[in-house]
Structure 1
Amino acid sequence: MYGCLLSDTQSPPSMDGPLPAVEIFHFQDKVHSSSLLLQLNTLRQRSILTDVLLCSENAEISCHRNVLVSSSPYFKAMFCNNFIESQQAKVSLKGISFSILRNIVDYVYTGLVTISMEIVLPLMQAASMLQYGRLFEACSSFLQEQLSPDNCLSMIRLSDIMNCTSLRDKAKEVALKNFSDVSLSEDLCELSLAELMGYLEDDSLCAEEEQVFEMLVAWIHHNPLSRRGAISDLFKKVRLRYVHPTYLFQFIANDPLIQSSTLCTEIIDSVRRLLFSVNTTLIKDTTVDFKTLWVTPRRYTYNDTLVVVGGRKNNVQTSREALIFDEKAQKWQRLAMLPVRLYKASYVSLHSVLYVIGGMVMNSKSREVSKTVYTLSLKTNQWWRVTAMPEPRFAQQSVSYLHFIFVLGGFGADGRLLASVERYNSMFNQWESMAAMPEAVLHPAVAALNQRIYVFGGEDAMQSPVRMIQVYHIARNTWFRMENRTVKNVSAPAVVLDKKIYIIGGYTRRTIAYDTEANHFTKCASLKERRMHHSATVLNNQIYITGGRYVNGHDAIEDSDTFECYDPKADAWTDKGNLPHKLFDHGSLTLTCVSRSWAKS
């Protein structure tokens, strides 16, 4: 009737011939499961074929044992083994309220449940007890959606009580990512020493090292009698290499907790000797394993980012704009604008702070050579002033080394080309005069490496190229110079990468790398055009250049909005897109930020 019938006159197929094709149809009823659940739930609600009553708080719910057994290992063990419940018509479930039990039974028969903050905890506890894993994880997902810096530490404790790994992992991720805000909560002071150490050791901790120190001090002061002895162990978790020296020596070093610990004061003294000796050799004559502490890498949450500031925009006016490149979005965003328009200021970064030094103030009524120094931090995205230079100047060069900024040459207020050098000490916010350059030059390439500042080429007061390297020994405050025919750059930037100084362009297409130890130049991949008045910085072990001016095919000079990257391993340049506008005589710098607070300003 349902198969294929052969008639009396029809002979069977020959065994020697090919078999007939057999068609197979696999049918899947997509509504069968939901329909079955719907029918079972209707039977339960009418108490048809139910064979057990689940009881709680003197109330009962009729259920089918086979449905409960099929849905939970807990009920399977209860009803399919020789437990007393397998013979009982009524089973009492202690520790579960009737309303929660009803929610769970509705979930078993319908697959639906409504989770709210009022019921999530008892529902989660019941799901854990009755071994409804997916319902347990649904409660976890709901709690994860409620996570914030204010409650994440409490959620971690809850996840430990509930033995919920997914909630704990997510809550810890929120705590690490928002540790600056979490550190303000009272819950942080309730952490155990082991828990606190775990956070401080984590590379994913998103907080400035200054905040890390302030947080551990607050934790100790919450219970000083029992916690004071932990200061040395906690202090070694602060990555001192990335603490601003001013904060380290003026605040941390003078903190009573630090001064009460011999080990902490030894660590501070080691850092002080390292920085004040202007020497990159690690201190050895100490009982502290200072080398291990000093070379601790930055936390993963520290992000280097490229900032472009000032310069001449579209060859129309001097720009007040500061732009930051958002790598995630692959676009430029604007930071707070410079307070004034500055022509040929110098730009440098030190301790993740951007410095804009000197320049000529450009306004509609006058032109004035400035000695003002403006700073910008990505933490606040606000401009501030620090102590001004002793002498106003513009078109000068600036370079940072350790906690110093050196300002070299440029034009003075009277228009004379200067050979003088001034040094800014960021620890004490003070300027001092240093030994002058042997020869005053304009627009040289400048870089600092191994206690020395190298000044390559440039041009003299008569605008003639200077084929010379002037070298300043920082610790000795002395200069010497070396004639070199390879040097012929004017208005070219220089950067340090892998212990070499790279000079990019300068009215040429050349990129050359200078090995200071071997006193040897190596030619690298050339630029596409003859480039000058551009800027360069190092980001993620690659060299980025922005804007500038170039000589086109008709030997005319044009402004540029290019954004290019050089990979020294591949010895190749890559186009990275464009700046928002054409720009030259600007600054390109690498700043380190922990959060994207600048994006909220």
Structure 2
Amino acid sequence: MENEKENIVLEIEGHPIECDKSLLINNSDYFSAMFTGSFRESVQKNIKIEGVDLKSFNIILLLLWDETYIIDMNDIHLVLQAACMLQFNAIRIICEKRILEMMTPSVSLRIWKTTELLDISPLCLKAKYMALEEFPQIWETDSILELSLDEISAMSWFYVNKGQYQDMGPTKILLKLLSCVNMKKCTRHDINEMMVFYDIRDNQDILEILDIVMRLNSSESLPCHVSENSLLLARQLRKSISRKKPIVPCLLLESNGSKGVRRGTEKAIVILDNFGRTRRLFNIFSTVRETPYYSDMAVLLYDSIVNKFQELFVINEDKIKDLAGFKLLPYKHSVLLFGGEYLIGAGNWNLNLWAFNTFTERWTRVSVVPHPRRHFEAIVLDDCLYIMGGTGRFRVSQDNILWYDFKTDEWSSLASLPTQSRHFKCCTFRGRLYLIYVVEGKVYVFNKEHLSWGKINMAVSKDILDNIGTYAVFTDSKYFYIKGKILLKLKLVDNNLIVESITNTRIKEYDEIDSVQCNNLVFTLYKSTNERCDLVYIFERLNLETFKRNEIFRKTENISEALNIDGRLFYPSVCTKLFTCPYYATENEFVSKLL
């Protein structure tokens, strides 16, 4: 005969709750230790539980019986706290998933506070990143008022450091706060607004320092009565920088597993088509090799600090199977997937603009692209996605540009490109869109308001341009870079792009090249064909300060050369892409250490 169910009574906030003892033991490490160990509670029938919200515990009991129960947004934080305290691990995971699904800028501050106190990462880091990135949107709403002063001060950064800063005095505390702002870029209007902030307006030392910063920014003379200490602190503040977004390179790779069969041929010949593009022709009578694979593609990020790859997310088969000529680009905390044609020539175009939210880990269809195309150039500038050139319906080359405005949810009409040439790369520099035609030696800058193109003189000799070959383009705050068989560093001076330096690159033979910049590091993906007609993929890192190069990997599509990450194999294929996206590091990268 089966044993009868043993019930115990838990007293929570003065209310008795009758519970199935075995249910608690099987689902909670906390109660398992309590009832199976040598604690006095193991033989008690009535147990008082302190520090747990009554409603939250009842919701936990509901979830133990029905995992599909939907937790109200107003209760989710208390349920998460109770699940963590009582070690209901499955319930904690349900809460974290629900919080990810509902995370928006308006609730990111509260999620940050809750998860930081509970030491839940990376959920805490995602909420922190969203709160900081979307702060211009948050501070204009009432969401910041939802946090009391006690709640704000309970966040771990202040909690851990408050003992250190309590003895600093108000002036040093305010200097700590101001050191998180790029003071050198602040306008007179910005600093005047700071001067009327509460606590700043009554602090004469800070007011004097801000006045000096404002004068130095405007190259004005300083009053004769300025103190040396205030001048020193003002100069230090002007060296402070804004908190940086952690951006890392990402690769789209195929993954090997138990699903499906990957077929390939052993013999092929390489030819050049009418456009000078490399093409491989396979011998249909050659031996066919078969290897298992997952039809889904996976995005891996590369952490250059620890020299390690890790899986970020998966792109399902239904989105990119047989899709050619598409793009992956970052926008804020999302990765955009758009463009391309399914089975080239079939006329089946991908018109969806998809966005993968790296916070909520979900795909959303943002919009529908009005003009289909593949193998195009694209870039994000401010809150607009620009799409240029490429091939459209009936394989007609496109000599136009259009853009999508994320704020207004509207597409522009088509505007003409400056020339009909297909061979160009796009980049942004100081808030403007540039097109670079190396073969023609021409550069153009786009005027969105007037739908016109301004011409920039490319002061580079034809001999140098001819030696570049197939190339990639990227920029930083000061320079343009063109990377091909050589690396050109260019400076914009009086409407002229002049050569700052020329550096030889190690890899000279390749078919395709793509580069992305992450701070002072440039990551490049080369695609080429070896003597056995295998596609070869080389992933390289270049330090722009030291020009030191490191080859991260050199691989073919052969599974024996695949990357092994947590037991799964990843390898490059014809769909492999290089792009950047946000990365939530384990360290707090948002606090300035200048002062």
TM-score, with length taken from structure 2? 0.49
Task: Please identify which structure carries the higher strand content.
Answer: 2
Q: TM-score, normalised by structure 1?
A: 0.49
